[in-house]
């Protein structure tokens, strides 16, 4: 059965960075509801229009919209390789809907991996981050600069973008939303026997290593 891996953790924990690494190393498909929603916002779809202000305020988009967007993405054939869910589920309702969706297709959750971090460090991590406009590679003003200033290591691109919601105020609201609505899912997946916890306060390469070990173990 193709692996279904959930990455849990607050904004700034490194879910997106690590999901991209897992995608490259294990041939899994990263499904980021944040990316899917941002694409809907730029495309100006009805879901995107409804989500835009909610995202800018650092609150959670409705389960209805998020589930519609995710289900749509899950209909693409590439997800058969196995998926890494990044930023989903974020509410108890989304977790229940995911269980049902997987049951319908004879799949189940392989692991839910909680990236454990200190909230206090997340504001700085999120506020400094940006990505290559051409290939999406992530960077950080302090923690991950390109080898040559202003030039993407991956593709040589010279344009970078920052997310509209990556500012100190909005991060605080996103952290609050995480603790109120998403953190309870850690206990939920623990009770299902699929929870793994890793220390995600270290360097990207160290976290990559601990995560790689877990994923090797479960995909073997």
CA distance 134 to 97: 34
- When computed from its CA atoms, the radius of gyration of the chain, rounded to whole angstroms, is 17
| Candidates 36-44, 123-131, 156-164, 206-214; binding stretch for Zn ion (CB under 5 A) | 156-164
**Residue with token string 């049951």:** 103
Is residue 151 at the binding interface for Zn ion, with CB under 5 A as the rule?
Answer: no
Question: H or E stretch including 199?
Answer: strand 195-199
Catalytic residue among 163, 172, 197, 208: 163
- Looking at the Cβ atoms of 62 and 219, the one nearer to ligand ADP is 62
Name the residue nearer to ligand ADP (CB basis): 164 or 217.
164
Query: How near is the Cβ of 38 to Zn ion at its closest, in Å?
Result: 17
- Least spacing, CB of residue 189 vs ligand ADP, in Å: 15
**Interacting residues toward ligand ADP by CB under 6 A:** 11, 15, 33-34, 37, 54-55, 58-61, 66, 87-88, 90, 94, 174
> Taking CB within 5 to 8 Å according to partner kind, which of ligand ADP, Zn ion, none is near residue 2?
none
- Give residues with Cβ within 8 angstroms of 105, minimum separation 6: none
Query: Which of the stretches 15-23, 119-127, 132-140, 198-206 binds Zn ion when contact is defined by CB under 5 A?
Result: 132-140
Task: Give strand ranges (E) for the chain.
Answer: 4-8, 29-32, 83-86, 111-116, 129-132, 138-140, 160-161, 195-199
Does residue 172 have an active-site annotation?
A: no
With a CB cutoff of 8 Å and minimum separation 6, the contacts of 134 are: 152, 155, 157, 159
Closer to Zn ion by CB, 5 or 132: give it: 132
20 contributes a contact to Zn ion by CB under 5 A: no
Whether the Cβ atoms of residue 179 and residue 16 lie closer than 8 Å to each other: no
Catalytically annotated residue among 15, 38, 73, 125: 15
The owner of tokens 């589930």 is 67
Closer of 37 and 207 to ligand ADP (Cβ): 37
* Distance, CA of 130 to CA of 144 (rounded, Å): 10
Residues designated as active site: 15, 90, 129, 163, 174
């Amino acid at each position: 059965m193709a692996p279904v891996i959930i990455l849990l953790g607050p904004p700034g924990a490194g879910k997106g960075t690590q999901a991209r690494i897992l995608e490259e190393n294990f041939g899994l498909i990263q499904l980021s509801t944040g990316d899917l929603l941002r694409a809907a916002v730029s495309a100006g779809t009805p879901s995107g229009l409804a989500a835009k202000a909610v995202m800018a305020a650092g609150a959670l988009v409705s389960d209805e919209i998020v589930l519609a967007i995710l289900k749509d993405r899950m209909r693409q054939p590439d997800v058969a390789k196995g998926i890494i869910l990044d930023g989903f589920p974020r509410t108890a309702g989304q977790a229940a809907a995911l269980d049902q969706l997987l049951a319908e297709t004879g799949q189940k959750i392989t692991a839910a991996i909680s990236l454990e971090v200190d909230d206090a460090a997340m504001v700085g991590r999120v506020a400094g981050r940006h990505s290559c406009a051409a290939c999406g590679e992530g960077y950080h003003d302090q923690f991950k600069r390109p080898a040559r200033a202003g030039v993407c290591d991956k593709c040589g691109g010279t344009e970078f973008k920052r997310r509209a919601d990556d500012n100190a105020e909005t991060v605080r609201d996103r952290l609050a939303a995480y603790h109120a609505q998403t953190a309870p899912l850690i206990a939920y997946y623990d009770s299902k026997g699929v929870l793994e916890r890793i220390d995600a306060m270290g360097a990207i390469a160290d976290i990559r290593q601990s995560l790689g070990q877990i994923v090797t173990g479960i995909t073997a």
